[in-house]
Amino acid sequence: MYRWLALLLFTLPTYARPQTHGVAPALLPRYSPSAQKTWTCLDGSKDIPWASVNDDYCDCADGSDEPGTSACPNTSFYCVNEGHIGSTISSTRVNDGLCEKECCDGSDEPAGVCANTCKEVGESYRKEYEAARKLRKTGSKIRSTYIAFAQKEKKRLEAAIEASEKEIAEQEKEVARLKDIADRTEALSAEELEIKKQSPLYTSLLTHSAALKSLQREHKKHLEREKALGEILDTMRSNYNPNYQDMAVLEAVRGWEYHAGLPHIGEAEREEGVDEDDDAAKEDAAEEVPEGEWTAEELEHQLDTLLETDYVSLLMEHDKHVGPAESAAETLLYDVPAYLPDAFIPQYEAFRDSLVSWLAKLGIIRDPASRDAGDASKAREAYNAADHSLDLAKKELEKANEELSNLFDPTGYGADGEWKKLDGLCLTKDTGDYTYEVCLFGEAKQKPNHGGSTFSLGKFTSWHPSHDVAPGSPEYYSQQAYTQGTKCWNGPHRSVKLHLSCGTDNALLGIAELEKCEYLFTGTSPALCLPLEDEGKTKDEL
């Protein structure tokens, strides 16, 4: 029945079509007849009469003579779609009785078969296009704030790295210094240390330290006493009765006011109660400290640290500056290589070591390997503590360097760092039975709404898992994979594919479990809204 209708319409001469029917605009200039009304196939293989173009019979090997029919295999057909956008389809779909969606002008079928809907299709397309443009414009503005965030983050990390490198260099020097002290302290025999400890400088230092400690103790006692006395005098100052004309009390009050830098208290003030500005009084009382001496505040806060000084380590360090004090017998022994030709030194050292070890075994000298643990441990502890904090600082630096290199890594936070701001952002979607959650670059979860256990649906593994999609391309950022979640009973580990598109909000829109324990999340993010190509251009340029 339909065939008959098509045949009938074919035979109707009503809507005559141009001979270039189906030719794409780029090829139109090549479809014109010669003066002799002939035409050359596009591949140049043959000249045919112009009338044979689009006569529903395939003449050219490349099929170029039938752009508007389905007579030649493997060719394409172009529908103009006036009022909308032109489109190309395979010629096999021409004149097949079906109105192709791509050809809203109906030109793929004989005239009159398909209605021309291009006006409506074009209008709704333009509406949607405009809405999408608007969305992209708003979204890309948000995206640019994400990029600015990454730039700021970059500066912060660079500054932190620079500071940390400087600090590490300083710490390394300090560790080397402490190691040297620890090594030398440990290498030193107890006997030698005793000799060193007899140094007048060291003994005087210990005496100074003991004296300082005693002074500190007495000072504290006096401070407490002064405070108590001050409180007594303060009470007397505000409560005494001037009507009794007690000169002793008055003198004591005036004396205290002068001493404590307090203003002269009058009748009215006494009644209201004393409320002087404490700080102002203290400031008045503050005295100038001679250069090099400590202020009261320094005394209060730094004296304890000074008194904790490891004097043995200091003694070792002092040695470095003034040259080691030498213990007679061993020094002579160990200095021998200085008098030997180089070639004899190895034999000498072997001999010396075994002699020393024998003498030690026989109890004649102290084993140089034996340490005075008490003296050495403080120095070793100081070195270990410094070395540990150096290790921590190095780890911090490593972390900061890694963060910096991830920041603009296309396989990480994007070439512009646009995803950094969203690192760890959790999006949720309630589907009734479950609330699904994905924390970007972290973990996806399935939380039951009516009791039961939460399942991990996997951790972030990569952007677009397909190898065909180039890292850094817009398509690459349209998918994230979360894998190795809780194992499914009799099935795979749970996993999620998160499909993202441009939107003004970071949101999860849909959840589907396509296969058992394989979930598809769909969502939007402004990070995917690339700026419009024409943005930044003036109206005249467009």
Shortest Å distance, C-beta 511 to ligand MAN: 10
Nearest-CA neighbor of 506 among 448, 413, 440, 435? 440
Q: Which lies closer to ligand MAN via its Cβ, residue 143 or residue 497?
A: 497
Shortest Å distance, C-beta 444 to ligand MAN: 12
For residues 263 and 228, give the distance between their C-alpha atoms in angstroms, rounded to a whole number.
20
Could you tell me which residues come within 8 angstroms of residue 455 by beta carbon, excluding any fewer than 6 positions away? 445, 446, 485, 486, 494
Q: Which lies closer to ligand MAN via its Cβ, residue 80 or residue 517?
A: 517
Residue 392 gets which letter from DSSP? H
Using CB under 6 A, pick the residue from 516, 534, 535, 537 that binds ligand MAN.
516
**What are the phi and psi torsion angles at 237 (to 5°)?**
-60, -40
Q: Which lies closer to ligand MAN via its Cβ, residue 378 or residue 429?
A: 429
For residues 359 and 356, give the distance between their C-alpha atoms in angstroms, rounded to a whole number.
5
Shortest Å distance, C-beta 489 to ligand MAN: 5
The verdict on 517 binding ligand MAN (CB under 6 A) reads yes
Shortest Å distance, C-beta 437 to ligand MAN: 13
Shortest Å distance, C-beta 524 to ligand MAN: 23
String of contacts with ligand MAN for each residue 337-376, x by CB under 6 A: ----------------------------------------
Q: Which lies closer to ligand MAN via its Cβ, residue 39 or residue 455?
A: 455
Q: Which lies closer to ligand MAN via its Cβ, residue 77 or residue 455?
A: 455
For residues 205 and 165, give the distance between their C-alpha atoms in angstroms, rounded to a whole number.
36
* Whether the Cβ atoms of residue 79 and residue 102 lie closer than 8 Å to each other: yes
What is the DSSP pairing of strand 495-502 with strand 507-515?
unpaired
Q: Which lies closer to ligand MAN via its Cβ, residue 40 or residue 522?
A: 522
The verdict on 511 binding ligand MAN (CB under 6 A) reads no
What is the DSSP pairing of strand 443-448 with strand 434-439?
antiparallel
Shortest Å distance, C-beta 455 to ligand MAN: 5
Which amino acid, one-letter code, is at 433?
Answer: D
Q: Which lies closer to ligand MAN via its Cβ, residue 425 or residue 481?
A: 481
**What are the phi and psi torsion angles at 147 (to 5°)?**
-65, -40
Number of residues that bind ligand MAN (CB under 6 A): 7
Q: Which lies closer to ligand MAN via its Cβ, residue 327 or residue 456?
A: 456
* Whether the Cβ atoms of residue 536 and residue 453 lie closer than 8 Å to each other: no
Shortest Å distance, C-beta 448 to ligand MAN: 8
**Of 37-45, 159-167, 265-273, 513-521, which segment contacts ligand MAN by CB under 6 A?**
513-521
What is the DSSP pairing of strand 479-483 with strand 455-463?
antiparallel
Using CB under 6 A, pick the residue from 6, 160, 249, 488 that binds ligand MAN.
488
Q: Which lies closer to ligand MAN via its Cβ, residue 477 or residue 482?
A: 482
542 CB burial (10 A radius; 0-12, 13-18, 19+): exposed
190-197 and 311-322 are packed helices; what angle lies between their axes, rounded to 10 degrees? 80
Shortest Å distance, C-beta 510 to ligand MAN: 15
Using CB under 6 A, pick the residue from 180, 409, 513, 518 that binds ligand MAN.
513
Q: Which lies closer to ligand MAN via its Cβ, residue 331 or residue 428?
A: 428
The verdict on 495 binding ligand MAN (CB under 6 A) reads no
For residues 533 and 171, give the distance between their C-alpha atoms in angstroms, rounded to a whole number.
51
Using CB under 6 A, pick the residue from 329, 453, 489, 542 that binds ligand MAN.
489
Shortest Å distance, C-beta 133 to ligand MAN: 38
Other C-beta atoms lying within 10 Å of the C-beta of residue 246: 13
Q: Which lies closer to ligand MAN via its Cβ, residue 471 or residue 492?
A: 492
Place of tokens 């996806």: 444
For residues 46 and 39, give the distance between their C-alpha atoms in angstroms, rounded to a whole number.
8
Q: Which lies closer to ligand MAN via its Cβ, residue 199 or residue 484?
A: 484
381 CB burial (10 A radius; 0-12, 13-18, 19+): middle
Residue 359 is encoded by which pair of tokens? Answer: 């003498």
Shortest Å distance, C-beta 8 to ligand MAN: 57
Q: Which lies closer to ligand MAN via its Cβ, residue 224 or residue 515?
A: 515
By CB under 6 A, the residues from 267 to 286 that bind ligand MAN are none
Shortest Å distance, C-beta 446 to ligand MAN: 5
**Of 99-107, 305-313, 511-519, 531-539, which segment contacts ligand MAN by CB under 6 A?**
511-519
Residue 426 is encoded by which pair of tokens? Answer: 């959790």
String of contacts with ligand MAN for each residue 409-448, x by CB under 6 A: -------------------------------------x--
* Whether the Cβ atoms of residue 379 and residue 182 lie closer than 8 Å to each other: yes
Residue nearest to ligand MAN (CB): 489
Residue 10 is encoded by which pair of tokens? Answer: 């074919």
* Whether the Cβ atoms of residue 148 and residue 526 lie closer than 8 Å to each other: no
Shortest Å distance, C-beta 443 to ligand MAN: 15
* Whether the Cβ atoms of residue 252 and residue 236 lie closer than 8 Å to each other: yes
Which amino acid, one-letter code, is at 523?
Answer: G
Query: Which H helix or E strand runs over 458?
Result: strand 455-463
For residues 542 and 537, give the distance between their C-alpha atoms in angstroms, rounded to a whole number.
7
By CB under 6 A, the residues from 441 to 460 that bind ligand MAN are 446, 455
Shortest Å distance, C-beta 481 to ligand MAN: 18
Shortest Å distance, C-beta 115 to ligand MAN: 47
β-strand partners of 438: 427, 444
Nearest-CA neighbor of 158 among 419, 402, 412, 400? 400
- Residues in contact with ligand MAN by CB under 6 A are 446, 455, 488-489, 513, 516-517
